[in-house]
Amino acid sequence: MKAVALAFAIGLLPAAAAAQNTVPAAGGDITITPFQHASLQLEHAGKVIQVDPAQGDLSKAKPGDLVLITDIHGDHLNPDLIGKVRKAGAPVVMPDAVKAQVGDKVSAPTEVMTNGQTKTVAGVSIETVPMYNLTRGPSAGQLFHTKGRGNGYILTLGGKRVYIAGDTECVPEIKALKNIDVVFLPMNLPYTMPPTEAADCVKAFKPKIVYPYHFQGQKPEEFVNALKGSGIEVRMLNWYPAAGRSGN
């Protein structure tokens, strides 16, 4: 079932569904456009931010003033698509592992950030949060995502703190977050965490609004049900408009 249809089925979307992809902020609404899986676009006050432009139909993506890449996997990183969604001269923020992987395939100003840093890039305040597995991996003693390799990002837009978690389990650094207004949280096995575990994670750091994303093959209604009565608003967007490749 498509995510939008699911949202109507479980009573999450009102008739004015467009309200689900806007968040009021100083200087105008933050507008969210999901493309597919982990690829999304944020707009605020005339500025466009592209996050992990790797999947989905990006033909309608607006030229980004800033591009963020979370990790090296193909559902987050596609060097060929980065150039298609950014304005000339717009910077691309990435962890060092991504920089090492793309080499000179990205002809754009790059800003390497490591876990725990705060910088202002293209006029946007960016904080990096570790994203990694605690226990899950392809085999014993290995993890799908190792600590320090990828970045989650907290952006401050119009006074709102917007957190894009990337591929992660519910690590201590996430539980310790404060004053998060909006979060995009993954929930897919075996690579991150199941919906019920993601719900427990959200209860720990209490964002105001949570968008499940990166959940292909899972049952996001389990996440919704687990958060009923918590006071945390769950919003569903259509992350899978057509059958497409999943990722980790």
Least-confidence region, from 9-13, 140-144, 156-160: 9-13
pLDDT given at position 58: 95
Short-list 19, 27, 62, CA closest to 42: 62
pLDDT band per the 50, 70, 90 thresholds, residue 8: very low
Alpha-carbon distance of 209 to 30, in angstroms, equals: 13
pLDDT band per the 50, 70, 90 thresholds, residue 2: very low
Cβ of 117: how many Cβ atoms within 10 Å?
12
Q: Are residues 175 and 140 in contact, defined by beta-carbon separation less than 8 angstroms?
A: no
DSSP three-state, residue 15: coil
Q: Are strands 150-157 and 124-131 parallel, antiparallel or unpaired?
A: antiparallel
State residue 224 phi and psi, 5-degree precision: -60, -50
pTM, two decimal places:
0.91
Higher pLDDT, 95 or 10: 95
What are the boundaries of each domain within the chain? 3-234
248 pLDDT higher than 70: no
Mean pLDDT of all residues in 1-21: 49
90 pLDDT higher than 70: yes
Higher pLDDT, 166 or 242: 166
Higher pLDDT, 108 or 236: 236
pLDDT given at position 104: 81
> Would you tell me which CATH number, out of the four given (3.60.15.10, 3.30.70.2190, 3.40.50.150, 1.10.10.10), belongs to the domain 3-234?
3.60.15.10
3 pLDDT higher than 50: no
